[in-house]
Amino acid sequence: MMSRRATTRLGLRYAAVIAVLLVFLFPIYWLFIISFKTPDEIFAFPPVWWPANIQFANYAVLFKDGDVIVVWNSLVIAGCSTVLAMFFGTICAYSLVRFRTGGDDLAIWIISQRMMPPIVIVFPVFLLYVWLGAVDTYWGLILLYTAFNLPYVIWMMRGYIADIPIELEESALVDGCSRWQVLTGVVFPMARAGLFATAVFTFVFAWNDFIFALVLTRTEVLTYPVQVTHYFGGQSNFWAKIAAMSVLGTVPVFVAVAMLQRYLVRGISMGAVKG
């Protein structure tokens, strides 16, 4: 039987967990519930915690106006850039770890590029993209996000690959495997959790980018963060559209994290913070 002191301690622990959950989950709940309210309920005071009738009109208008295409644009751009960054970044990380390419100085220089604020390079990139004709194109944003996230992927995968015993790769080479077969048959499967964890974060970085998308897009490849700003007007803000579009833009990230949660937790604990 638990003592009174232990019971009190357990109660305080549960109370702290509930308080933290309320702080972090309430904004998500409020955003979600606003997307189903009528305009009167959105601006009602005291606040309406649950709508009298669930409204899907806020979502319907996004499909009717064609605004929902921005979610598809974000999916294509973030997805393609993540695949490219993961492929080239993992190959580069393997070279840094196994062949000591560039020594430690090159690895430090690579990660320092990721620490640079995007606003520092957005204007030179814009001028370059105007010259290349890459403004408002899929390939322009995919190329930029791949380059910008490549240092992060290299740094993360460098830690995961370094944890793989080199004896396994040497055994495979002795058995006649090529270096590419070692990568696909030994390194990639053993670093699978790290690959998925890094891919999720890379996808989220590209998905949430605002500054590059704001400067380098016009009408053809608008992404969802930029589209949300279009609902803020000089006279009024379209909160129903903002909430509905935000929910649609949040769903793919939640789905990706939920599907890869097993690998995500394991990957973070494996070597993400080891550098």
3-state SS track over the chain: CCCHHHHHHHHHHHHHHHHHHHHHHHHHHHHHHHCCCCHHHHCCCCCCCCCCCCCCHHHHHHHHHCCCHHHHHHHHHHHHHHHHHHHHHHHHHHHHHHCCCCHHHHHHHHHHHHCCCHHHHHHHHHHHHHHHCCCCCHHHHHHHHHHHHHHHHHHHHHHHHHCCCHHHHHHHHHCCCCHHHHHHHHHHHHCHHHHHHHHHHHHHHHHHCCHHHHHHCCCCCCCHHHHHHCCECCCCECHHHHHHHHHHHHHHHHHHHHHCHHHHHHHHHHHCCCC
What is the structure's pLDDT at 72? 94
pLDDT for res 272: 46
> Mind listing the pLDDT tens digit of every residue in the chain (275 residues)?
667 788 888 889 999 999 999 999 999 999 999 999 988 898 888 888 898 888 899 999 999 998 999 999 999 999 999 999 999 999 999 999 988 887 778 888 888 887 888 888 899 999 999 999 999 999 999 999 999 999 999 989 998 898 888 888 888 888 888 888 888 888 888 888 889 889 999 999 999 999 999 999 988 899 989 999 999 877 777 888 899 999 999 888 888 888 877 777 666 666 544 44
- For residue 50, the one-letter residue type is W
Q: What is the pLDDT of residue 275?
A: 43
Amino acid identity, position 238: F
Residue 267 has a pLDDT of 65
Distance of CA 155 to the CA centre of its chain: 16
pLDDT at 95: 92
Separation in Å, CA 148 to CA 125, 202, 212: 12, 10, 10
Q: What is the pLDDT of residue 177?
A: 86
- Report the length, in residues, of the chain: 275
pLDDT of residue 220: 87
Domains along the chain with CATH numbers = 4-56 (no CATH), 63-272 (1.10.3720.10)
pLDDT at 108: 83
Interatomic CA distance for residues 113 and 87, integer angstroms: 19
